[in-house]
Amino acid sequence: MPEFRFDSIADFFAMGGYGFYVWVSYGFFAVVMGFNLWLPYRQRANTLRLLQARQLRQHGQAGIESDLRQQQDAQQQQGEAH
Amino acid sequence: MTTGFVPWLARATFLLLGIGLVWGLGFAPPDYQMGDNYRIIYIHVPTASGAIWIYAMMAVMAAMHMIWNIKVADMVAKSCALIGASFCAVALVTGAFWGKPTWGTYWIWDAKLTATLILFFVYVGVMALRSAFDSDTAASKAASVLTLVGVVNLPIIYYAAYWWNTLHQRSSELGVRDASANPPEIWIPAVFSGFGLIGLIFVIIILHTRNEILLRERRAQWVQELVQQETDNA
């Protein structure tokens, strides 16, 4: 088993005098990767909001539902015909 | 949005990354010359090689898009750009903070460093070029061409330390055959953080590509149904 290489937590943060360089590097890494993970979730919410607004503008709420029903009915009829 | 194997991929990613970084920061032995400063290796090396491989993937996607006109290849290529630029930026910044205590400077116009900086600018250029067009088709075509031109830079970065004798060291040998090279206590955590970051690359590219598909296929029936479902759930 690998052992913990530092005597105390303060020692761990000090990194043998290189604490500034090591922690700035890991901190920058964490911030950039966190941003990269967060961004697609925010973009998904934005995209859905945009597409909802677009649907409402084109059809109105009731219009979408009847459109979808008609499309589904048409598909079913196609399936039966085969 | 997290369906199928993506949550499992994400869990595996965080597990590997967690093990690799905790091990590397706290449990790997200090280097005999660089002391604890070398611990930056566990993020510097995987992000630097990640920046190169993400670009290679982006170029393959760009080629597939141009040759066979595969739409989803272009969407994946678009998703590669930001994560690739991020990896490149992290490699450059962590390299600078490793260079200061070991080389005495944050930056030097070394062959490998300069080529990596150029890679970062190419990533940014591809993103900027893509966003400069109103038409999706024209944007994809221009971004694909620039991406393929930028491929010449990849072998230059990879072999820079062998072709020119400047400052950046060559890749360290793993101590599998040669006992004087890096011992397993040092390189095993790097394997964990490396595979963790490969997982992270794929998670982020998949999430981005899904958004891109929704946007570009907005006229498709399944997207309209999905949007309808999300409206009902909200």
For the stretch B44-75, pLDDT in tens is 999 999 999 999 999 999 999 999 999 999 99
Interface test with A, best of B75, B97, B222 (most A CBs within 10 A): B97
Give the structural domain span for B113: 6-233
Cβ contact, residue pair B43, A3, below 8 Å: no
pLDDT at A41 exceeding the cut of 60: yes
Among the residue ranges B32-36, B209-213, B229-233, the one predicted with the least confidence is B229-233
Is residue B128 a part of any domain in this protein? yes
Separate counts of helices (H) and strands (E) for chain A:
3, 0
Higher pLDDT among residues B178 and B126, named by residue: B126
Query: How close, in Å, is residue A25 to chain B by CA atoms?
Result: 5
Q: What is the DSSP string of B86-102?
A: HHHHHHHHHHHHHHHHH
Stated as kind and residue range, the H or E segment containing A17 is none
Cβ contact, residue pair B94, A29, below 8 Å: yes
Domain boundaries, chain A: 9-81
* Interface contacts A/B by beta carbons within 8 Å: 121
> Over B28-73, what HEC string results?
CCCECCCEHHHHHHHHHHHHHHHHHHHHHHHHHHHHHHHHHCCHHH
For the stretch B134-170, pLDDT in tens is 998 999 999 999 999 999 999 999 999 888 887 888 7
Report residue B233's pLDDT band, with 50, 70 and 90 as the boundaries. Answer: confident
Res A73: pLDDT: 79
pLDDT at B223 exceeding the cut of 80: yes
Res A1: pLDDT: 66
Q: Give the tokens for residue B213.
A: 């598909």
For the stretch B84-94, pLDDT in tens is 999 999 999 99
In chain A, residues with a C-beta closer than 8 Å to the C-beta of B28 are: 2, 5
Res A3: pLDDT: 85
Cβ contact, residue pair B230, A6, below 8 Å: no
Is residue B1 a part of any domain in this protein? no
- Long-range Cβ contact pairs of B218-227 (< 8 A, separation 24 or more): B218/A51, B218/A54, B221/A68, B221/A71, B223/A51, B224/A51, B224/A55, B224/A64, B224/A67, B224/A68, B225/A68, B227/A48, B227/A51, B227/A52, B227/A55
Res B91: pLDDT: 97
Report residue B173's pLDDT band, with 50, 70 and 90 as the boundaries. Answer: low
pLDDT at B203 exceeding the cut of 70: yes
Report residue A63's pLDDT band, with 50, 70 and 90 as the boundaries. Answer: low
Cβ contact, residue pair B40, A25, below 8 Å: yes
pLDDT at B76 exceeding the cut of 90: yes
